[in-house]
């Protein structure tokens, strides 16, 4: 396929979708309170982005997401590494890890609000709890997947335990850890927003609920757009980080 | 000639479900400093086991192993494996410099040394490449350069050219001899190939399976450096067919 033939289907699909949406709203007579037209949403988006409180809500949510993601990253990698280095610990921790995944974490949000209050702390905790699992499992998986041949090389060179960790295990695990981070950053965003839905008076999640209660559906769509953009940019940031950290993988994935 | 490696009753057995399996029956072998030894034998004869014991990758279950330290008093061992085992996240020169990095050598010094070695093994111009951009033969050259980086007194090689085509193999055999002659390290090389063994070895150690043991030791008297044309001579073929016959007895 030529470059244009490969790039075009994406934009064409989006344009077609928006056109159908617009036509549906115009012909079905559906109330804009239920479904505004794309043009109305765009107008509301421009309007919302021009208001100062939007930016405060955005920076609030972004701060919570990044804090939650950061905690998830550190705890996930350290715990993954601890479990990888001890079979005993793995057996001891395993039931808790599985349980922490099965519990619907959204159901824990009221509890976190009770413990940590309506401020940002409870949202950061929700965000971290939801995001940490893929990082931990991927770290564990990555550390376990060290090539035995590479291990032989390090053993023949009489590498110390630390050298083995920093120069063999961690680089071997890096692709898996970054894949976990890509998942985690999206989950961290969801965690922060869900936390805001249920308590407090700041952040895009709160903003969305308040807008809905005021029946400003077009503005609600605009906020959802903004949240999507934020998540997308965070995801792209991790993807960019991957290129910087794993330059040796670049051609291997067919770019 | 001084002794570089002394094996006394070195053996290895494993506990398995069907009882104790003797992978390597007690072996006595003395290797002189600067000698080129080739271990040859069918699968399961314990040649790789013996090599891994020499390299400290495997603990023997019996016997004592004496390794003489090199000229600088250190017990340095270079190990080349069947697969190149280059780290995919390091460039070729960083891979070659890995032994020096693990010894906390400064960056400038170890990269200078790595580039020198890359040139010696025919990797000039590929220092900055990623290992996956190299062919199998070139990756194995990188692995050899890495094994030589810390100037080992003892170089252990486990079928280093086994996965390569015949032409590349012949060329690398020649280059290996050249590198060895220039350095005077002791080499122990494991192979399946009779012609590779005769072409490279001072002494060939024939091993036989079940349990792995030394069957015979054959001296190869040809002068160095050896030309690939040597393979066509009557003397070469005489040694090769003697080996073939002895190996035939065991398998």
CATH number at residue A167: 1.10.3720.10
A90 and A149 together in one domain: yes
Nearest CB neighbour to B87, from listed A150, A158, A252: A150
Binary contact (B102, A149; C-beta < 8 A): no
pLDDT tens digits, one per residue of A171-224: 999 999 999 999 999 999 999 999 998 877 899 999 999 999 998 999 999 999
Q: Strand B36-40 and strand B3-16: pairing?
A: unpaired
B29 with B203: CB under 8 angstroms?
no
- Concatenate the DSSP letters of all residues of chain B into one string: --EEEEEEEEEEEEEETTEEEEEEEEEEEEEETT-EEEEE-STTSSHHHHHHHHTTSS--SEEEEEE---TTS---EEEE-SS----TTS-HHHHHTHHHHHTT--HHHHHHHHHHHHHHTT-TT-TTS-GGGS-HHHHHHHHHHHHHTT--SEEEEESTTTTS-HHHHHHHHHHHHHHHHHH--EEEEEES-HHHHHHH-SEEEEEETTTBEEEEEEE----SSPPGGGGGSHHHHHHHHHHHHHHHHH-
Residues A198 and A217 in one domain: yes
- Look at residue A255 in the predicted model and tell me its pLDDT: 36
Spell out which residues of chain B touch residue A155, defining contact as CB-CB under 8 Å.
56-57
A7 and A94 fall within a common domain: no
pLDDT (mean) for A161-170: 92
Q: Which of A142, A157, A172 to mutate to test the interface with B (most CBs of B within 10 A)?
A: A157
Per-residue confidence band for B71, with pLDDT thresholds at 50, 70 and 90: low
Residue B191 confidence class, pLDDT cut points 50, 70, 90: very high
A18 is in which domain, residue-wise? Answer: 1-30
Alpha helices by DSSP H, chain A? 3-7, 9-28, 38-49, 52-85, 87-102, 109-116, 120-144, 148-156, 161-164, 170-198, 203-213, 217-245
Q: Inspect the interface and report whether the beta carbons of A171 and B130 lie closer than 8 Å.
A: no
Q: Which residues are within 8 A (CB) of A213 and not within 5 positions of it... i.e. 6 or more apart?
A: none
Per-residue confidence (pLDDT) for residue A127, from 0 to 100? 93
Same domain membership, residue A119 and residue A22: no
Residues of chain B neighbouring A171 (CB-CB closer than 8 A):
87, 89
The more confidently predicted of residues A98 and B58 is B58
- Whether A157 sits inside 8 A of B85 (CB atoms) is no
Query: Number of A:B CB contacts under 8 A?
Result: 48
A247 and A199 belong to one structural domain: yes
- Total number of domains constituting chain A: 2
Which chain B residues are closer than 8 Å to A246 by Cβ? 89
Same domain, A14 and A85: no
Q: Which token pair is B9?
A: 């009753």
Task: Please provide the average confidence, as pLDDT, over all residues in chain B.
Answer: 89
Report the pLDDT averaged over residues A29-33.
86
* Residue B1 pLDDT grade (very low, low, confident, very high; cuts 50, 70, 90): low
Smallest CA–CA distance, residue A149 to chain B, in Å, is 6
pLDDT above 70: percentage of residues in chain A? 95
pLDDT tens column, B119-167: 888 898 999 999 999 998 899 999 999 999 988 889 999 999 887 888 8
Give the residue from chain A lying closest to B76, CA to CA.
Answer: A157
pLDDT band at A252 (very low <50, low <70, confident <90, very high): very low
Please report the sign of the dihedral spanned by the C-alpha atoms of residue B80, residue B86, residue B87, residue B92: positive
Which residues in chain B are contacts of A248 at CB distance < 8 A? Answer: 88-90, 130, 132
A169, A184: one domain = yes
**What's the token pair of residue B84?**
């190149």
Q: Please give the pLDDT value at position B140.
A: 92
Claim to verify: residue A225 and residue A211 sit in the same structural domain: yes
Together in a domain, A6 and A118: no
Task: Give the pLDDT of residue A254.
Answer: 40
Residues A16 and A118 reside in one and the same domain = no
- Test A171 with B99 for CB contact under 8 angstroms: no
Same structural domain, A15 and A85:
no
pLDDT of residue A251: 53
Query: pLDDT of A71-117, one tens digit each?
Result: 999 999 999 988 888 888 888 888 887 887 788 878 888 888 889 98
The alpha-carbon gap from B170 to the nearest alpha carbon of chain A, in Å, equals: 25
CB contact under 8 A, A152 and B85: yes
Supply the pLDDT for residue A71.
Answer: 97
Query: How much is the average pLDDT of B204-224?
Result: 90
**pLDDT band at B108; cut points 50, 70, 90:** very high
Interface contact B87, partner A, CB < 8 A: yes
pLDDT of residue B168: 82
Q: How far is B156 from chain A (nearest CA, A)?
A: 10
pTM of this prediction? 0.80
The pLDDT value recorded for residue B73 is 61
Reported as half-sphere exposure (CB side, CA atoms, 13 A), residue A225 has a value of 18
| pLDDT of res. B64 | 86
Return the pLDDT at A59. Answer: 94
Task: Please check the confidence at residue B251 and state whether its pLDDT lies above 60.
Answer: no
Q: pLDDT tier at B29 (50, 70, 90 boundaries)?
A: very high
Residues of A in contact with B156 (CB under 8 A): 156
Q: Please check the confidence at residue B4 and state whether its pLDDT lies above 60.
A: yes
* Whether A26 and A65 share a structural domain: no
Encode A100-127: b = buried (16+ Cβ within 10 Å), e = exposed.
eeeeebeebbeebbeebebebbbbbbbb
């Amino acid at each position: 396929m030529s470059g244009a033939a490969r790039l075009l289907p994406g934009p064409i699909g989006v344009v077609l979708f928006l056109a159908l949406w617009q036509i549906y709203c115009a012909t079905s007579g559906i109330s804009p309170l239920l479904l505004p037209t794309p043009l109305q949403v765009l107008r509301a988006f421009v309007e919302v982005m021009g208001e100062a409180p939007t930016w405060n809500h955005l920076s609030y949510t972004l701060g919570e997401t990044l804090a939650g993601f950061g905690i998830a990253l550190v705890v996930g990698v350290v715990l993954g590494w601890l479990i990888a280095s001890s079979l005993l610990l793995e057996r001891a921790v395993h039931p808790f890890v599985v349980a922490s995944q099965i519990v619907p974490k959204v159901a824990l949000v009221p509890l976190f609000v009770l413990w940590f209050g309506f401020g940002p702390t409870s949202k950061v905790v929700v965000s971290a709890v939801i995001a940490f699992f893929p990082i931990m499992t991927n770290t564990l998986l990555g550390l376990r997947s060290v090539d035995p041949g590479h291990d032989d090389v390090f053993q023949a060179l009489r590498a110390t335990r630390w050298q083995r960790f920093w120069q063999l295990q961690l680089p071997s695990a890096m692709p898996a850890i970054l894949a976990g981070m890509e998942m985690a950053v999206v989950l961290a965003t969801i965690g922060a927003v869900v936390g805001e839905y249920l308590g407090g008076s700041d952040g895009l999640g709160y903003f969305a609920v308040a807008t809905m209660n005021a029946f400003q559906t077009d503005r609600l769509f605009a906020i959802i757009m903004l949240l999507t953009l934020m998540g997308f940019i965070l995801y792209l940031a991790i993807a960019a980080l991957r290129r910087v950290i794993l330059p040796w993988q670049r051609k291997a994935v067919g770019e | 000639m001084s002794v570089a490696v002394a094996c006394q009753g070195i053996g290895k057995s494993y506990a398995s479900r069907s009882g104790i399996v003797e992978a390597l029956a007690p072996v006595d072998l003395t290797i002189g400093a600067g000698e080129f030894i080739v271990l040859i034998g069918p699968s399961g004869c314990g040649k790789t086991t013996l090599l891994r014991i020499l390299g400290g990758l495997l603990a023997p279950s019996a016997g004592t192993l004496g390794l003489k330290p090199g000229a600088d008093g250190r017990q340095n061992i270079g190990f080349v494996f069947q697969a190149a085992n280059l780290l995919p996240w390091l460039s070729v020169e960083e891979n070659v410099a890995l032994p020096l990095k693990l010894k906390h050598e400064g960056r400038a010094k170890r990269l200078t040394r790595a580039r020198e070695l890359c040139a010696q093994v025919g990797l000039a111009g590929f220092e900055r490449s990623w290992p996956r951009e190299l062919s199998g033969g070139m990756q194995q050259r990188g692995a050899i350069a890495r094994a030589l980086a810390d100037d080992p007194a003892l170089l252990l090689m486990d079928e280093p050219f086994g996965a390569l085509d015949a032409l590349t193999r012949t060329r690398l055999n020649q280059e290996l001899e050249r590198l060895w002659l220039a350095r005077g390290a002791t080499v122990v090389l494991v192979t399946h190939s009779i012609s590779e063994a005769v072409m490279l070895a001072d002494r060939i150690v024939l091993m036989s399976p079940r349990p792995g043991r030394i069957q015979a030791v054959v001296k190869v008297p040809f002068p160095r450096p050896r030309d690939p044309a040597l393979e066509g001579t009557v003397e070469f073929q005489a040694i090769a067919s003697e080996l073939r016959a002895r190996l035939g007895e065991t398998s």
